[in-house]
Structure 1
Amino acid sequence: MDEPARTPNLEFGDAIFTLAPEGLGSAQSALGRTRLRTFIALRWLAVAGQTAAVLFVAFVLKFDVPLAACLAIIAASAWLNVFLSFAFQSQRLTQRWEATVQLAFDTIQLAALVAVTGGLSNPFLLLLVAPVTVAALSLSRTRAVIIALLALGLAAFMPLVSMPLPWFYGQVAELPPMYHIGQFAALAVGVGFFSLSASRVSQDEAKLVRALDAASVVMAREQKISAIGAMSAMTTHELGTPLATIHLVAKELLAEIPKDDPRYEDIALLAEQADRCRAILATIRNAREATDIVHARVPLEALVTESAAPFRGLGVAVEVLVRPGDDADSRPPILNRSPEILHAISAFVENAVSFAETKVTVQASWTLDQIMISVTDDGPGFAQEVLPKLGEPYVSQRSEGQHGGGDMGLGFFIAKTLIERTGGRIATRNQAPPRSGAVVQALWPRAALEASGLD
């Protein structure tokens, strides 16, 4: 039986695992924390607009408007703003329930104003879309649905309680029931469209922000590791001199003290342990990845080999191929060591190993102008519905037949972001039949990676 096509799942170890409960939780957790001053500013804007509209209709158009009722309803919003401005700091983030209550109040206030000025006959009925849209942008999906249903419910109730549409003195504007039905239908369509659109935009933005945060955590973790490496280099250098002095003094004491002296064995042990410490420091010095000019440069072959090394011996053959392009010299380019590239290529290799049948090939090549690294496996390949969307955070989910279900695409997004940060770009595809498997290619301008100042 053929295996199901895969979707990408790239893990970044502790960095992703640590963020999972909060930073990488559901998109709902990022919503509903709008600042109080935003609600206050929007409400003052509504108060100004409502007041201007009512006064214009009453005194310019000379329509018969229930002016006292309208101004009282508008004043309710103004007094709420005054209370909130004095009772709370405007910079504070509102709790989710606070934002829900405030938007519910705004919906009821606007519906009341529309009801006393004609109800479904009032063309300004469509303004009920405004608080629903704000709710979709700033609240969770459930709370936004509550506000939307509240707006539609109040609109449906208006024919029972609404006052006549303001018109010229002594005249009554009678609109057919079909107009009222059309008004309600237009409101329902507007509420549905704008709430869904705003909710999708808000969800995508929240996912993107969390994905970028995760990429920042990955880089901060790598910078911390690099800092530890630099510190170890400094430590080995600083400890080298006192250890050499201890070793020299111990050797001189051994030359002066006869072997039958009871202190001879202690001094010999001291010299031996000093030698051992020097050997340990030499090992650290040779293995460190400090940021000096020597270790900051690495051949292309060494970079690719280092990226693939952790995934060898896991039951899948990992082959590294490095070869020049048709128009390049045979000497591999020397690159600036890049934590971003190491992380990204390692992530691609890890993903390939997890889906490969028997073999993963990591191939690096170069021309006079470009450097390319590709990771190929012989697994089921990328799912066709996912392939055009690769690089977007949380693009899909694994199918049931694949282990480790959950949100997908975040790791690939992080790796793609790291590649693009270094000046490269990513291309993905499946191998052409009769071969199977996925191919991920990273391509850079050679000048973006090659170390300068080489002899």
Structure 2
Amino acid sequence: ANMGQLSAGIAHELNNPLGVITMYSNILLDELPTEDPMRSDLELISEQANRCKKIVGGLLNFARKNQVSLSETDMLAFVKRSLDSIIHPKNIEIVFNHKVTDPTAFVDNDQMMQALTNLEKNAVEAMPEGGRLSVELSDNETEIIIRISDSGTGIAPEHMEKIFTPFFTTKELGKGTGLGLPLVYGIVKMHRGKIDVVSNADKSKGRTGTTFSIILPRYKSV
């Protein structure tokens, strides 16, 4: 809780000056002629300030994720809805398979939607050359299992143990905050669930790609 309060405090303190930088760089951009050589510098300032705001937003989210508001949810409809919200290029095929006896589980809808869409977006980004995003929903008596697989480049073995560490990212500079997967991990843990990942980045060992499995308890934990 103390770390959460500290993160939230820092995020709030940073938000105001970042807002001022963004606002004034945009005002200057509006006033500068299109051919002015300073435009590119101002655009860079604005872009990087916006990136900082995203990181701060991620920190705030991270700080707030310390409680869940559970409600009875049809996970079949829920997972379908998460996929409907994903923007993807035409060279990526999305496949949804389900073998569910009872799709009911108690989840925090907002937070679990954020977790699923984070994983689904990551899967799409892992396939710049195109591929297949497969989502599978299954269950047993006490659990709901969601598997999200991509046929992308895979995660290098040396990165596997760091992927849930805040601010760790393999994306090029300026592209990722390194808060997406830690956020997913935190959300799943607050649901008393488990998250597993299996990945292959070595073509000589077979097809490359990554599968994240989220295993959620079906009922509210007492």
Q: Which interval holds the TM-score relative to the shorter structure?
A: 0.5 to 0.7
Residue 157 of structure 2 aligns to a residue whose secondary structure is coil
Determine whether 1:362 maps to 2:135: yes
Question: Contact between 1:215 and 1:417, CA under 8 Å: does it hold in 2?
Answer: no
Structure 1 portions without partners, runs of 5+: 1-16, 26-211, 224-295, 325-329, 450-455
Greater relative CO, 1 or 2 (CA 8 Å, sep 6+): 2
* 1:19-418 correspondence runs (5 A): 20-21=51-52, 24=55, 213-216=59-62, 297-311=72-86, 314-315=89-90, 316-324=92-100, 330-336=101-107, 338-356=109-127, 357-398=130-171, 405-406=174-175, 408-418=177-187
Q: Distance in 1 between matches of 2:205 and 2:148?
A: 18
Whichever residue aligns with residue 52 of structure 2, its letter is: P
Structure 1 residues 310 and 217: alpha-carbon distance in aligned structure 2, compared to 1, 3 A threshold: farther
Q: Distance in 1 between matches of 2:49 and 2:115?
A: 19
Q: Distance in 1 between matches of 2:53 and 2:74?
A: 39
Q: How many residues align?
A: 164
Determine whether 1:443 maps to 2:219: no
Structure 1 residues 336 and 443: alpha-carbon distance in aligned structure 2, compared to 1, 3 A threshold: closer
Deviation digits for residues 61-84 of structure 1, max 9, x if unmatched? xxxxxxxxxxxxxxxxxxxxxxxx
Q: Which residue of 2 aligns with 1:430?
A: 199
Report the structure, 1 or 2, having the larger strand content: 2
Structure 1 residues 427 and 336: alpha-carbon distance in aligned structure 2, compared to 1, 3 A threshold: closer
TM-score (norm 2): 0.62
Moved over 3 A (4+): 17-20, 22-25, 216-219, 334-337, 404-408
Q: Structure 1 residue 213: deviation in Å? A: 3.2
Q: Structure 1 residue 406: deviation in Å? A: 4.7
Q: Distance in 2 between matches of 1:216 and 1:405?
A: 19
Deviation digits for residues 124-174 of structure 1, max 9, x if unmatched? xxxxxxxxxxxxxxxxxxxxxxxxxxxxxxxxxxxxxxxxxxxxxxxxxxx
Q: Which of residues 413, 419, 425 is equivalent to 2:188?
A: 419
Q: Distance in 1 between matches of 2:217 and 2:136?
A: 17
Radius of gyration: which is bigger? 1
Structure 1 residues 322 and 337: alpha-carbon distance in aligned structure 2, compared to 1, 3 A threshold: farther
Q: Distance in 2 between matches of 1:419 and 1:298?
A: 15
Whichever residue aligns with residue 126 of structure 2, its letter is: F
Question: Contact between 1:423 and 1:448, CA under 8 Å: does it hold in 2?
Answer: no
Question: Contact between 1:340 and 1:422, CA under 8 Å: does it hold in 2?
Answer: no
Whichever residue aligns with residue 426 of structure 1, its letter is: I
Q: Distance in 2 between matches of 1:215 and 1:319?
A: 30
Structure 1 residues 312 and 23: alpha-carbon distance in aligned structure 2, compared to 1, 3 A threshold: closer
Whichever residue aligns with residue 352 of structure 1, its letter is: A
Residue 117 of structure 2 aligns to a residue whose secondary structure is helix
Q: Distance in 2 between matches of 1:351 and 1:370?
A: 24
Q: Distance in 2 between matches of 1:322 and 1:443?
A: 15
Structure 1 residues 433 and 308: alpha-carbon distance in aligned structure 2, compared to 1, 3 A threshold: farther
Q: Distance in 1 between matches of 2:142 and 2:49?
A: 40
Q: Distance in 2 between matches of 1:354 and 1:309?
A: 16
Deviation digits for residues 163-186 of structure 1, max 9, x if unmatched? xxxxxxxxxxxxxxxxxxxxxxxx
RMSD: 3.2
Question: Contact between 1:320 and 1:362, CA under 8 Å: does it hold in 2?
Answer: yes
Q: Distance in 2 between matches of 1:341 and 1:362?
A: 15
